[in-house]
Amino acid sequence: MTHENQLDKKLEVFSILGFGGLGKTTLAVEVCRRLEEEFSCQATVTVLQAFDASKDMSGLLLRILHQVVKVKRDNEQNCMQEEDPLGEIDSNVDNLASMLIQRLADKRYLIVIDDVWTISAWDAIRCKLLDNNNSSRIIVTTRIETVAKACTLANAWGDHIYRVKPLKLEDSKTLFVNRVFGPNNVCPNDLETAMDGILKKSAGLPLAIVSIASLLASYKTPGSLEMWTRICNSIGSQMESNPTLEGMRQSITLSYNHLPHHLKACMMYLSIFPEDYVTSKDRLLNRWIAEGLIPEKRGLTLEEVAESYYDELFSRNMIQPGQVIYDGSAIECRVHDMMLEVIVSKALEVNFVSLIGSRYGGSSHDTVRRLSIHGDLGSNIEETSMRHVRSLSTFRPEGQGKLLDRLAEFTLLRVLDLQDCKDVKDHHMKHVCRLFFLRFLNLNHTDITLLPSQIGELQHLQTLWLYGTLLNGVPESVINLEKLEYFGLSNRKDWRVLLRLPRGLGKMKALEGLLRVDIREGDTELAKEMGDMVQLRRLGIVLRCTGCSDKPVLREIGNSIGRISSIRQISVEDMSEDANNMDFLHHLPSPPLLLRHITVGGKINGFPDWMASLTHLVHIELWWIDMHGDDIYGVLYKLPNLLKITLDRKCCKDEELVARTTFKFPVLKELAIVRDNSTPRVVRFEQGAMGKLEKLMVRFCDQERSLAGIDNLTSLQEVELVGKKNTKALQVAADQLKTESQSRQEAEQFKVVLKYE
């Protein structure tokens, strides 16, 4: 930030990004303090949340002007005098901007623009600040990623974005103990459990830790356990009523209040999920859609609109990532405990949700609209009317039998989410099939064994999830679900159970996702009908055919794939014993050139020619292809956007799998070599082949396996080794990797993760 060369003479902007209460402003002020001697002028101004340049710009410029006027101490009179007082000035914006330019013209300045909420506010402020070619700097603090990026867009040296992370547990504990008990003291043993609970809820948020510590500073004797426990269990209500926590509540609530109306509803919807609950992106988005929270927009599907809302909540640091995959996207999310307290409070206040079995105490309203079960039902639930309930969600595996027996009363239900509920029985399905308005039905990981034919009467159903159940199939009536968009089935006790569909599939034109579809030799008509599903984005088929690859059913599958222009993800697996079923992929009349994900699981005579044309492909997964390593890498390195390669069972027939120097993968970030218990025995990387690789995962089985050329992976951040604990080759590789990592500069070292089976 203080280096000076010809490029550094330009004005540079640094963004500090993070959730409210993480200490962005504190960090910016500390930077200014440490660099006080480096800059002749400094100023810090806070931007109003609803900043209006026509009304607020003059006040902001005036505050900057008052600070950049140099101050000196009159030693004789022991008072402060301005070297160049502003005096009476015209508060016109243009006049103030002109004065600021004059005063900064020959000075190196450092200005902090604190809490910027919009790009338009930044653009208006930035154009008033002079680039005097004197190595000046601006620090912007913001909670919103798009704003942080916009602020640093014009930098000569690229993005300068510092993402503030929550405190680690030990640092949180130190801060808390110092604030409550004073430096160099410890927490009494009988208060430690309560302290751990408070720190868990604070989740590394300095403002929360300091605020709660201030509240408890008067209660530090061994007899204070009751008060500590009460505070831990009632932080939400304490934030509303206790003046000590008012600042924390205001800071966190600001982020919610700044959301546009459509995002407020989507954010409040997360109050349905329990504390610390991690939910999948697909589950959340499909529920938003089913509840009518996502409006139609011209040229976009509802899923695309919902995804844009999801991304914006992340950009605003309103939700936190769970699992993040190779392209940087979060396929799971959760809410910070402090933010959850705020949105639950607001949701309960407006009767958006009723929480049963949680510490929030159930519903205080006569009409229940969204019912979420977090724990024991209690006795009051039996008297609660279910006539107006729009969604029912259970997050407790057992103890729901009495509620499920009342499913027939939920006549207006749109969302039924029973994932992981072990009390769901086959006889409950007859009630489910009478819920005429149902749009979202999640029965994942339940114990149902039979789906009634009446399921086809749910004419509004959009999502039907049956993964990890005990079902062996679905009734033919599912083809009557013409509004169904997402459909999937798997049996947790028998992986061979697939989705066997009847003829008439072409009626289901709304389908966007169809996975693990069982295709057999006589399914020519079914394969043909797949091409009528023009909205299909994800297709997974499993072949159970015998004979040659020129069978009509395979030709029709190829024709159908070519007709579905919307398709983005394809998985083709071969469960038959034939050696050439997958060769139909060579003869597609119209290849799916917009694919982003492809899985090929079966022996194939080389990659199809069109594979090298998949310029949008980001992930490829392969197994049983039984090809030479050069034939695999020799095609894949040409794909300009390929981020991840997964090589599963029996992919490479060579003793060595070599990423050669000539195979320069331009953006590849992840390589996974999994579940292959024979070849290759050596995984080698030549110089320059995978220079952008950040994560490597290798599974070690009983046979010997080794890694070579790790020193050529200069961008490596993590290596994950998987296998049995007593596998010698795994331990040798781990030692080798740790040595290699330690030999690098600290900033270039990588993490070695061992996962034992």
Which range is least confidently modeled, 4-18, 340-354, 383-397, 690-704?
4-18
For residue 576, which of 554, 556, 609 has the smallest C-alpha distance?
Answer: 554
Rounded distance, CA 70 to CA 106, Å?
13
DSSP state of 647: E
What is the percentage of the chain residues whose pLDDT exceeds 90? 63
Tokens 């009528």 belong to: 532
Is the pLDDT confidence value at 379 over 90?
no
Rounded distance, CA 477 to CA 372, Å?
30
CA 443 to chain centre: 23
Band (73; pLDDT cuts 50, 70, 90): very low
Helix (H, G, I), strand (E, B) or coil at 220: coil
Average pLDDT over residues 509-521: 90
Per-residue pLDDT, 3:
55
Is the pLDDT confidence value at 359 over 80?
no
**Is 97 within 8 Å of 65 (Cβ atoms)?**
no
Band (751; pLDDT cuts 50, 70, 90): very high
Q: Which residues pair with 371 in a beta bridge?
A: 354, 392
Structure tokens at 586: 């060579």
Rounded distance, CA 14 to CA 527, Å?
55
- pLDDT tens digit string along 214-265? 988 888 877 788 888 888 888 877 887 788 888 888 888 999 999 999 999 9
Band (660; pLDDT cuts 50, 70, 90): very high
Rounded distance, CA 709 to CA 595, Å?
32
Band (710; pLDDT cuts 50, 70, 90): very high
Structure tokens at 572: 């083709």
Rounded distance, CA 531 to CA 203, Å?
49
Is the pLDDT confidence value at 80 over 60?
no
Per-residue pLDDT, 547:
60
Average pLDDT over residues 158-182: 91
Q: Identify the CATH number of the domain defined by range 259-349.
A: 1.10.10.10
- Higher per-residue confidence, 93 vs 90: 93
Do 259-349 and 7-163 have the same topology in CATH? no
Task: Provide the 10 A C-beta neighbour count for residue 121.
Answer: 24
Per-residue pLDDT, 239:
80
Is the pLDDT confidence value at 597 over 90?
yes
Structure tokens at 626: 């039984």
**Is 522 within 8 Å of 547 (Cβ atoms)?**
no
Structure tokens at 304: 């695309």
| Assigned CATH class of 7-163 | alpha beta
Band (76; pLDDT cuts 50, 70, 90): very low
Rounded distance, CA 755 to CA 223, Å?
44
Is the pLDDT confidence value at 74 over 60?
no
Mean pLDDT of the residues in the chain:
89
For residue 539, which of 527, 549, 551, 547 has the smallest C-alpha distance?
Answer: 527
> Residue 108 corresponds to which amino acid?
R
Per-residue pLDDT, 498:
86
Per-residue pLDDT, 130:
83
Rounded distance, CA 16 to CA 24, Å?
6
Per-residue pLDDT, 546:
72
- Structural domain spans, the chain: 7-163, 169-250, 259-349, 644-757
**Is 15 within 8 Å of 160 (Cβ atoms)?**
yes
Per-residue pLDDT, 382:
79
Average pLDDT over residues 16-24: 93
- Written as one string, the DSSP assignment of 462-525 is -EEEEEEES-----GGGGG-TT--EEEEEETTBTT--B---S-GGG-TT--EEEEEEEETT-HH
Residue 20 has phi, psi (to 5 degrees) of -60, 130
Rounded distance, CA 164 to CA 617, Å?
32
Band (268; pLDDT cuts 50, 70, 90): very high
Rounded (10°) angle between helices 302-315 and 261-269:
90
Is the pLDDT confidence value at 702 over 70?
no
**Is 700 within 8 Å of 721 (Cβ atoms)?**
yes
Structure tokens at 436: 């005429």
Is the pLDDT confidence value at 558 over 60?
yes
Q: In what order do the strands lie in the sheet with 332-334?
A: 279-280, 332-334, 320-321
Per-residue pLDDT, 72:
38
Distances (CA, A) of 246 to 25, 211, 237, 346, 350: 18, 9, 11, 16, 21
Task: Provide the 10 A C-beta neighbour count for residue 30.
Answer: 11
Is the pLDDT confidence value at 651 over 60?
yes
Per-residue pLDDT, 649:
86
Rounded distance, CA 390 to CA 272, Å?
13
Band (496; pLDDT cuts 50, 70, 90): confident
Reported pTM: 0.87
Band (621; pLDDT cuts 50, 70, 90): very high
- Higher per-residue confidence, 687 vs 157: 687
Per-residue pLDDT, 661:
95
- pLDDT tens digit string along 715-727? 999 999 998 888 8
Per-residue pLDDT, 68:
82
Structure tokens at 716: 């490596």
Residues 6+ apart with CB under 8 A from 119: 146, 147, 150
Average pLDDT over residues 276-281: 95
Rounded distance, CA 732 to CA 736, Å?
6
Structure tokens at 686: 């030549």
Band (384; pLDDT cuts 50, 70, 90): confident
